[in-house]
Amino acid sequence: MCRGAPVIDLRQHNAAFCEEHFLRFCRSQVTKTIEKHQMFGPTDRILVAVSGGKDSLALWDMLDELGYTTEGLTIGLGIDNYSDQSTEMTRRFAAERGLALQVVDLAATYGFSVPDAAGRTGRVPCSACGLSKRHVFDQVAREGGFDVVVTGHNLDDEAAVLFGNVMRWQDDYLGRQRPVLAEGDGFPRKAKPLVRLTERETAAWCLLRGIDYVLDECPMADGNNHLAYKELLNTLEERTPGAKQDFYLGFLRQGLRHFEQGSDTARTDLRACEECGAPTSADRCSFCRLRERASTTSVTVELGSTKHPTGATS
């Protein structure tokens, strides 16, 4: 039996863990997830999507510690202090560990920030932000020859997304809510190795491992349902420990197979975006269309040539 001082209780497992055993527990949860879903192997090159928050830094730390070959990618979103602080913390984390990090600044590379995109197109910030992040991750992965892009989505994130998808019965989203999405049609493989850890656990990992992460929340996050769903699920968890885990892992085990994984018919007409080469069913991909409307250079582009003066490479 363990005689170390307890540092955290995990009620869903009905036990208190000492530091050493807690860290071991986290590693085994992640290893199990990677193996069970065949996310990647020891020789794969892994691109880690890093935000500077607890989840992505814990993920990067764990994968590096487990001996995987990783490179980080962080995106400067241009959201006030929040983005500067996030990039700074990510840089420091990578430098301290001698890890390779790419930083792509949206404004410098593409001519717009997330607040620009929201203000100029009327799009919800998180939607413009999500679209931009996915685009940049896909592109860097494609051009850099990475085998997989990994993100720090945790159990609370996935359970909240699942809750939202069920509330609206979005069968297409439910079919795609997988811990790993296979590569294909020019898109890289995507994996979420932290889906068995709660956010309390990823935060505790950072704390115990001495990882400084961004504590501030993105100021543009307000007003979406994601947080409300998390609260609801935590209320349930309080009454029934393990409820979040049962809900999400039960979905993977029993629910997911009843939903189709995307519509293959929509994908048969995919071609390369005229501007950036990303797979798209239109002439130009949704990111290039967003960029045209969001960047300050869009006026000249609309009046003059049909192409942007600079190619959208990172």
Question: Where along the sequence are the contacts to other proteins (CB under 8 A)?
Answer: 6-9, 11, 16, 19, 51, 53-55, 126-127, 129-130, 151-153, 156-157, 198-200, 202-204, 207-208, 215-218, 220-222, 224, 226-227, 230-231, 234-235, 237-238, 244
The distance of closest approach from Cβ of residue 134 to ligand SF4 in the complex, given in angstroms and rounded to an integer, is 11
Pairwise CA distance, residues 146 & 140, whole Å: 8
Q: If 0-12 CB within 10 Å is exposed, 13-18 middle and 19+ buried, where does residue 288 land?
A: buried
Pairwise CA distance, residues 228 & 211, whole Å: 28
The distance of closest approach from Cβ of residue 125 to ligand SF4 in the complex, given in angstroms and rounded to an integer, is 4
**Pairing between strand 148-150 and 101-105?**
unpaired
The distance of closest approach from Cβ of residue 56 to ligand SF4 in the complex, given in angstroms and rounded to an integer, is 11
The distance of closest approach from Cβ of residue 232 to ligand SF4 in the complex, given in angstroms and rounded to an integer, is 19
CB-CB neighbours of 217 under 10 Å: 11
Q: Which does 96 bind (CB under 5 to 8 A by kind): ligand SF4, other proteins, Zn ion, none?
A: none
Judged by CB, which is closer to ligand SF4: 55, or 201?
Answer: 55
Reduced to 3 states, what is the DSSP secondary structure of residue 103? Answer: strand
Binding Zn ion by CB under 5 A: which of 7, 15, 16, 21? 21
Q: Which residues bind ligand SF4 (CB under 6 A)?
A: 77, 114, 125-126, 129-130, 218, 220-221
Pairwise CA distance, residues 75 & 109, whole Å: 10
Where helices occur in 111-262 by DSSP H, the ranges are 114-121, 125-144, 155-167, 171-176, 199-209, 225-239, 243-250
Pairwise CA distance, residues 299 & 198, whole Å: 46
Using the rule CB under 5 A, give the single segment among 40-48, 100-108, 163-171, 288-296 that binds Zn ion: 288-296
Give backbone dihedrals phi and psi of 76, rounded to 5 degrees, phi first. Answer: -80, 110
The distance of closest approach from Cβ of residue 268 to ligand SF4 in the complex, given in angstroms and rounded to an integer, is 30
Judged by CB, which is closer to ligand SF4: 29, or 113?
Answer: 113
The distance of closest approach from Cβ of residue 224 to ligand SF4 in the complex, given in angstroms and rounded to an integer, is 8
> Cβ neighbours of residue 261 under 8 Å, at least 6 residues apart?
175, 176, 178
Pairwise CA distance, residues 191 & 178, whole Å: 8
Q: Which does 85 bind (CB under 5 to 8 A by kind): ligand SF4, Zn ion, other proteins, none?
A: none
Judged by CB, which is closer to other proteins: 244, or 308?
Answer: 244
Q: Which does 276 bind (CB under 5 to 8 A by kind): Zn ion, ligand SF4, other proteins, none?
A: Zn ion
Instruction: Work out the angle at residue 246's Cα, subtended by the Cα atoms of residues 32 and 15, and round it to the nearest 5 degrees.
Output: 70
The footprint of Zn ion on this chain (CB under 5 A) covers a number of residues equal to: 10
Which stretches of the chain bind Zn ion, using CB under 5 A?
2, 4, 18, 21, 273, 275-276, 278, 285, 288
